[in-house]
Amino acid sequence: MKREKTEVLIVGLGPVGATLAVYLGRMGVSVIAIERDTGVYPLPRAAHLDHETMRLLHLAGGAEAVGCASQPLSAYEFRNAAGELLMGFKPGQRLAPTGWPYSSMFHQPTLEHALRARLAATEGVEARLGHALKGYERNADGIVATVEGPEGTVEIAARFIVGCDGGNSVVRRIAGIGLDDLGFDEPWLVIDTTLKNGRERLSTVGLQHCDPARPVTSMPMAPGRHRWEFMLLPGETPESVMSDEKIAGFLAPYAEAAELEIERRAVYRFHALVAEKWRDGPVILAGDAAHQMPPFMGQGLCSGVRDAANISWKLAAVLRGRAGDALLDSYQPEREPHVRMITDMAVMMGKVVCTRDPEEARARDEGMLAQPEAQRQNEMMTLEGLKSGTMPGGGGIFPDPGHGADRGAGQGHSRLDDAAGCAAILVVAEACEASRAFAAAGGFVCGVEALPDAGGHLAGLMGGAPAVLVRPDRYVFGTGETGALVAAWEAYLASGKAAAPAAAA
């Protein structure tokens, strides 16, 4: 049997796998990415991207195409059967400090085509469509996988295998990694529609109808598309709700049939699951293979992209001898608390929506309506950053202080992200020996005076400190004295654990 070799084998080439492959290729890592399907799934699935994810997708070449096929939400509301507001969320200003909209409703196939195009143009990365993982064995050098494709079966030796192969992950199953069930399992009928006669939207509000008779989600998607989700009631089966007549009845209260074209109908079970291990030696899980959450926060794909951003630069650092293997052990401790926090919030929202007992719904309504309506309206939630992997005072999302730069006079758009690429960033008030050493080791160094910082976000972050160090996944590692920051960063690369430098302890 033919044997090939690569540094990282990625299984699954959806948005998470494709993003990971592009990141690794940009950092000089050799990658083979396999996908059992032969093309992009043509229908929408994930619907929402937050500003942090758009920023990370920009680094992978997917954000611009998505931005042209997306629309912001004006609000996200939970209303009871009588139409009264139980709770609502509105995005803040048009652009977040990252330079991207806080909330974008998008078209997943558009994203996937853009990522595949960037992947095809990325040196050292090979995508193999129509190839399925049949098994893998571990050895002293990593793994040897058996892969079946149109031209037969091959063996692929890799230092690491990353399962980005979804909720039914073959990589996870072969590794024998179990799932922690967080206790949410509900069946819903999902109906995706396109709008006729050139209409772009039915609404700009995402709406949860918290009606105990049948909970319903109504969600604007990319321009020209709208999604409804209907909770299945006891005794209903997927087969019993899929007919044209049944779907017409579901949609009748919300839109005229003549306005819509049914694009997709499917029954999904909304789960809340977290893998017990996200890394087991050379085996790594990301995206739905590592965690699944109900859709009420719109954070499923966002969380998978964060996984790719977190693990990619660590793999590159280990493979290039810049970091110890212990750095990979920081992946789950850094990502899992964030995922669980979001999942807990999504489950909480889901329980508000999915209440089917009339008495419980009445008590829910009374409790929530007791607050003045102004207090039931909130700004769109800002998701916290890392709990570990940064120094005290770090962990937040780094703003892009160049995103507001002048586009005119031939100067173009001067995002700091574009200049730094997938490297760690050190912004300094003054160059010094430590900053030069950081640059020599592959980091990106920028003087604070070179950044426009029109919104003042960088100045607020630094607070007069001489430097700020930013991880490649764009979380702030820490602020402080340049030499101490760089020394702490090197210690983190070696151990996977960040701590304040001795001088600041």
* CATH number (domain holding residue 116): 3.50.50.60
The Cα–Cα gap between 95 and 474 comes to: 17
Q: Would 314 be classed as within a structural domain?
A: yes
Pair 336, 458 in one domain: no
> Is residue 192 one of the residues assigned to a domain?
no
Residue 478 lies in a domain: yes
pLDDT tens for the chain, 505 residues long, are 889 999 999 999 999 999 999 999 999 999 999 999 999 988 878 999 999 999 999 999 999 999 988 998 899 999 999 999 999 998 876 789 999 999 999 999 999 999 999 999 999 999 999 999 999 999 999 999 999 999 999 999 999 999 999 999 999 999 999 999 998 889 999 999 999 999 999 999 999 999 999 999 999 999 999 999 999 999 999 999 999 999 999 999 999 888 999 999 999 999 999 999 999 999 999 999 999 999 999 999 999 999 999 999 999 999 999 999 999 999 999 999 999 999 999 999 999 999 999 999 999 999 999 999 999 998 877 787 898 999 988 999 999 987 543 332 223 447 999 999 999 999 999 999 999 999 999 999 999 999 999 889 999 999 999 999 999 999 999 999 999 999 999 999 999 999 876 544 3
Angle between helices 51-60 and 300-319 (to 10 degrees): 40
Do the domain assignments include residue 75?
no
326, 426: one domain: no
Is residue 313 situated within a structural domain?
yes
Task: Name the one residue in this structure whose structure tokens are 């999604």.
Answer: 227
**pTM greater than 0.85 (yes/no):** yes
- Do 346 and 422 fall within a single domain? no
440: domain range?
A: 416-504
CATH number at residue 471: 3.40.30
In a domain, residue 294? The reply is yes
Q: How many CA atoms lie within 13 A of 63 on its CB side?
A: 22
Per-residue burial over 280-310, b if 16 or more Cβ lie within 10 Å, else e, is eebbbbbbbbbbbbbbbbbbbbbbbbbbbbb
- Residue 194 counted as domain residue: no
Within a domain: residue 76?
no
Out of 333, 352, 371, a domain closes at 352
Residues 341 and 433 placed together within one structural domain of the fold:
no
Are residues 437 and 330 both part of a single domain?
no
Per the structure, the count of domains in the chain is 2
For 37-50, give one letter per residue: b (16+ CB within 10 A) or e: eeebeeebbbbbbb
> Cα–chain-centroid distance for residue 27?
20
Same domain, 332 and 468: no
Domain co-membership, 344 together with 425: no
Domain termination residue (choose one: 329, 352, 375): 352
